[in-house]
Structure 1
Amino acid sequence: MKLLPLALCATALSVPALAQQAAPAPTAPPKLLVVISVDQFSADLFAEYRRHFTGGFARLQDGAVFPSGYQSHAATETCPGHSTITTGARPARTGIIANDWVDLKTAREDKTVYCAEDENVPGSTSSKYTVSDKHLLVPTLGERMKAWNPASRVVSVAGKDRAAVMMGGHKVDELWWWDAGAYRTYAGRPTPPVVAQVNALVGARYAAPAAAVAVPPQCAARDRAVAIGAGKSVGTGHFERDGNNARLYRASPQFDAATLALAAGLIREMKLGQGAAPDIISIGASATDYVGHTYGTEGAEMCGQLLSLDRDLGDFFAVLDRSGVDYAVALTADHGGTDLPERHREDAVPGAVRTTADLNAKTIGTAIAAKLGLKGQLLRGGNFGDIWVDPTLTAAQRKTVIAEGVKAFAAHPQVQAVFTAEQIAATPLSKAPPETWSLLERARASYNPLRSGAFVVALKPRITPIVDPTKGYVATHGSFWDYDRRVPMLFWRKGMVGFEQPLSVETVDIAPTLAGLIGLPLKPGDVDGRCLDLVAGPASSCPN
């Protein structure tokens, strides 16, 4: 499964070797913060595979391990989740309520707004857009570091543009994401030599076909076909693909290997962690999410992906070790995920099913329009999450349509609950442990009055909102439930004494925890999270 990084480590990543010696316990603040998000790396996957890890994940398990971290909000998607990691704020404050939302008042024909786009660019659509940070309403840790000490450098690299933008923020020195065969940045910004070098290597591998790879012994029991209909199956994919296939390249270990290679190259070329002020690099490892969507979370594909990522992370940390930089790592995920229902049903979960074709905003809105004698598309959205109502309706019509919409969704046998915007807004933000939150409190943490819908739909547990798995994705995330909310949070620094804390914490705790490590002051109310003490003993890494 070593598909890419060896060649890159011999070129873009090489650094002089340093003598290895025992690490003393750290006393001074770290010079480089490394924040890694493994997209769709649920707490369930971490628990399932942690005994098999021998590389980077194994190293992190020698640090501070929080196996029950929470993306505590209801909108467990990529963009909202990434917006919490370095801001310390929940989506209600970041404004990133979903990957996409509906703005029915926008002048453009496409009423869907992508979380990391500038919809005011002429000709832009939610699928063909100009990447922008304009929708993130709060500063990231990197921005706070720059305000505190302008000499700090902020770098963000990810497989997805939204991951890079939401973790990097508004003031970055370098920000790169992968698209159409190469890593790209904002228009008009120069390309450093190391990026050009990595792009040349990655581009060649992307353009070439990839042969099937051997299934690791640890994955052999998972190497079985699961039928999904129309003569198709998943579960025996060994990452073979034809050349220039973006969909399958993203859903392969090659993708994360390239992103880590680029991150390591930028650390070297920019001499991150070697200046007078602390620096930060955020890394979005996106392949696990694409593997989960394309093949599910419990097959040989996911097994091979995680074992490969473990080795790639080990190589990445080894490069940082050889640089001599004093760095601290925080690793988490933007959300969890669940397996495809067909395999769930084979593996003792008979209640796992897909949504029925009638469960969606357009179908239900059409029925309401016929009932009330109204015209137009009354409801917009999907089959769960935020649902928006036609703004051209009168106040009386709007009230009636919302009531009918809530009634129709709530009556569907696959729906757990429906909450109106008024109900959600009236609910205080919870201060209790996240696993104890009610569904309404989870919805409140995702609610922003500028962008959220007229009501929110929560599906029942183990309902997958993909009607037909033969046309693309077979599994997904985004629910109110803990398999999507719960993620690992791992902190590591050379010389620290490790410990494990099984009780719940939140991803919004990461930014204040790292701020505490470097001594960056935060005022009360700056963030939603709290500083986690990473010192095993009576001393504390958090401010008094």
Structure 2
Amino acid sequence: MAQVPLRSPLPHGASAALLLTLGLLSACASPPATPAKPKLLVFMVVDGLPMRQVLGYRDQLQPDGFRRFLDQGAWFANAHYGHAHTVTAAGHATMLTGAYPQRSGIISNEWVDPKTRGQVYNTMDADYQYIGNPTAPLAGTSPRMLLAETVGDVLRSADPAAKVIGISGKDRGAILPAGHKGTAYMYMGESGQFASSTYYMQSHPAWVQRFNAAKPADAFFGKSWSPVLPEAAYARSVPDGQPWQSNAGNGNRLPAVLGAGMDGPGPRFYGNILPSPYGDELTLAFARAAIEGEALGADASPDILSVSLSSHDYVNHAFGPESRLSHDHVLQLDRHLQAFFQYLDAKLGKGNYMAMLTADHGFADTPEWARTQGRDTARLPGAQLLAFANAGLGKTFGDGPWVTQLSAMGLLFDEALIAARGLRPADVYAEAKRVMLQMPDVAAAYTPDELAGQEPGAPLLEQMRKSWHPERAAPVQVIMKEGRLFGSRPVGSSHGTPYAYDTHVPILAWGPAWVGRGEVAQRVEVADIAPTLAGILGLRVPAQAQGKPLPLPLQRQP
């Protein structure tokens, strides 16, 4: 049998080229390797920051603050809260649980217990006290009121060596994102210190003691809050010193000197740090101390650091988001973020951590200014709502009062009076809804049957359902018309409605290996953050989560 001659070998260079080509083809055919988990997840919240402010000043931002997310990261142009009562505690409870208030139980910052009629604060727990600082009644000292688990809780259940730390100028901004198994530190407005509570530990670790012993808050005494840009750069914003801007605290004009008229640092001065750019600067200094003191991101177990920056909320409440003071505060914060990110780059390395930034709610423009722009706006005191409700119910059922208190967005009734008159509560609730809908400033009102229902409803009903917890919320919920500022504030602005100016917030992410890069235009919700971060960390989704993973740009990139 004739032998088949062997093929002549290829020249050496050609063989190498062929092997290289085959290797590249093989690599292209293989799925991309899953990146390692980030060693540190830095979760950031800017309290009271509407998305319109981030984009409105984009041309004036530093290259590595907010623009790190906008230019180098993934950002969601149409991110909203899905619930109706958009306040600080409800927002902070939603972010890392993925659960709306109907499941988290955090229906507001404070509310009235429908059964006992006692005042409730969202993170109150009389069994625990602040460490080294006085604890006022109803102070936030533990996550007991939170009925949902966070991403950090899931992480620490899966890996007890992982660390989860929450830091904020407000107790609720620290405690709620830290969850049940993390550790929270909050700013003490009377002492200028950061403190935890006895829920977490009996005494502070050495690094916290060193930070507080150095009295870093005192360094801001006599410092001036001055605009970072020339006057012409603020032409798009409302000038200082308007009659509808609060003149308390540090005043309503820049430059403003912290501690002006005071003999030295004390409780009044420490309280005035938060409504200034120095509140965020101090909070980020404590965050750096936590990274160093706890060696965050330094081992094989991923860690979570949640930092909620509270100052912008105070600024917007006092002056309104349309003000030059708020405009400048965003630019000041942008510089603080840039310095913090550059610290993280040097400390951990860019490929070892990811950052995500959001807000707990947006903000309405100040009504008095909005009216100068031709908008239909008004301030609506709660007493006016109560009086209208009782006058209407009195015509049907006789002398009351039938509605005794307001709780968050709801009406609480004199249930004993209802029983004494032989009335069915459902009939009184239905009549209260009818009466409320006759009030010119009311957009919608809902009864317990509607709120507990499962059938699809109008957008406002769906939002209100997500804010309503049957054991904690008042039975009849009321939604004001757009542009109404509900509450007793005579100046400044607020939030708390289901409208876009309060629901539309940033969701910004950076960490190329985990999120990719680019703008996402489709509507997403803040409840989607928790499932997304759980996936990145290789964890199960928190049990009560109602969101879905964000459509990250990374998923669309080849």
Q: TM-score range by the shorter chain?
A: 0.7 to 0.9
Q: Of 169, 173, 184, which aligns to 2:179? A: 169
Q: Distance in 2 between matches of 1:179 and 1:278?
A: 32
1:532 offset after TM fit, Å? 2.1
Q: Of 285, 293, 299, which aligns to 2:309? A: 285
Instruction: Tell me the equivalent position of 2:443.
Output: 416
Instruction: Tell me the equivalent position of 2:67.
Output: 58
Instruction: Tell me the equivalent position of 1:219.
Output: 234
Instruction: Tell me the equivalent position of 1:352.
Output: 377
Q: Work out the number of aligned pairs and report it.
A: 500
Q: Distance in 2 between matches of 1:231 and 1:143?
A: 42
Other structure's SS at 2:528 match = helix
Q: Distance in 1 between matches of 2:342 and 2:358?
A: 20
Q: Of 276, 289, 297, which aligns to 1:252? A: 276
Q: Of 204, 209, 223, which aligns to 1:196? A: 209
Instruction: Tell me the equivalent position of 1:46.
Output: 54
Instruction: Tell me the equivalent position of 2:160.
Output: 150
Q: Distance in 2 between matches of 1:537 and 1:412?
A: 49
8 Å CA contact 2:165, 2:178 repeated in 1: yes
Deviations 1:107-162 (A, max 9, x none): xxx7221111126789x999643522111001110000011111111100011101
Q: Of 502, 508, 512, which aligns to 1:490? A: 508
Unaligned 5+ runs, structure 2: 1-32, 260-264
Q: Distance in 1 between matches of 2:455 and 2:206?
A: 50
Q: Of 427, 439, 454, which aligns to 2:460? A: 439
Q: Distance in 2 between matches of 1:264 and 1:353?
A: 43
Instruction: Tell me the equivalent position of 2:525.
Output: 506
Q: Distance in 1 between matches of 2:354 and 2:128?
A: 39
8 Å CA contact 1:419, 1:457 repeated in 2: yes
Other structure's SS at 2:505 match = strand
Other structure's SS at 1:408 match = helix
| CA pair 220-239 structure 1, distance change in 2 beyond 3 A | farther
8 Å CA contact 1:66, 1:488 repeated in 2: yes
**Are residues 1:527 and 2:515 paired?**
no
8 Å CA contact 1:42, 1:486 repeated in 2: yes
Q: Distance in 2 between matches of 1:230 and 1:173?
A: 35
1:196 offset after TM fit, Å? 3.1
1:239 offset after TM fit, Å? 3.9
1:221-370 alignment, distance < 5 Å? 222=237, 223-228=239-244, 236-242=253-259, 244-246=268-270, 248-325=272-349, 326-346=352-372, 348-355=373-380, 359-361=384-386, 364-365=389-390, 368=393
Q: Distance in 2 between matches of 1:28 and 1:380?
A: 53
| CA pair 526-396 structure 1, distance change in 2 beyond 3 A | same
Q: Distance in 1 between matches of 2:246 and 2:61?
A: 36
| CA pair 99-126 structure 1, distance change in 2 beyond 3 A | farther
1:398 offset after TM fit, Å? 3.2
| CA pair 60-212 structure 1, distance change in 2 beyond 3 A | closer
Q: Out of 52-61 and 159-168, give the one that drifted further.
A: 52-61
- Structure number with bigger Rg: 2
Q: Out of 30-39 and 183-192, give the one that drifted further.
A: 183-192
8 Å CA contact 1:362, 1:380 repeated in 2: no
TM-score scaled by structure 1?
Answer: 0.84
1:201 offset after TM fit, Å? 3.2
Unaligned 5+ runs, structure 1: 1-24, 431-436
Deviations 1:493-522 (A, max 9, x none): 156641110111111111111111121133
Other structure's SS at 1:194 match = helix
Q: Out of 47-56 and 480-489, give the one that drifted further.
A: 47-56
Q: Distance in 1 between matches of 2:107 and 2:253?
A: 35
1:373 offset after TM fit, Å? 4.4
8 Å CA contact 2:122, 2:140 repeated in 1: no
Identity level (%): 31
8 Å CA contact 1:156, 1:175 repeated in 2: yes
1:332 offset after TM fit, Å? 0.5
Q: Distance in 2 between matches of 1:328 and 1:448?
A: 34
- Letter of the 1:198 counterpart: F
| CA pair 120-270 structure 1, distance change in 2 beyond 3 A | closer
| CA pair 121-265 structure 1, distance change in 2 beyond 3 A | closer
Q: Distance in 1 between matches of 2:319 and 2:343?
A: 31
Q: Distance in 1 between matches of 2:511 and 2:302?
A: 15
TM-score scaled by structure 2?
Answer: 0.82
- Letter of the 1:211 counterpart: S
| CA pair 42-397 structure 1, distance change in 2 beyond 3 A | same
Deviations 1:242-301 (A, max 9, x none): 353355322111111111111121012211111221110111111111101011111111
Instruction: Tell me the equivalent position of 1:184.
Output: 195
8 Å CA contact 1:198, 1:261 repeated in 2: no
Q: Distance in 2 between matches of 1:355 and 1:535?
A: 43
8 Å CA contact 1:119, 1:125 repeated in 2: no
**Are residues 1:116 and 2:116 paired?**
no
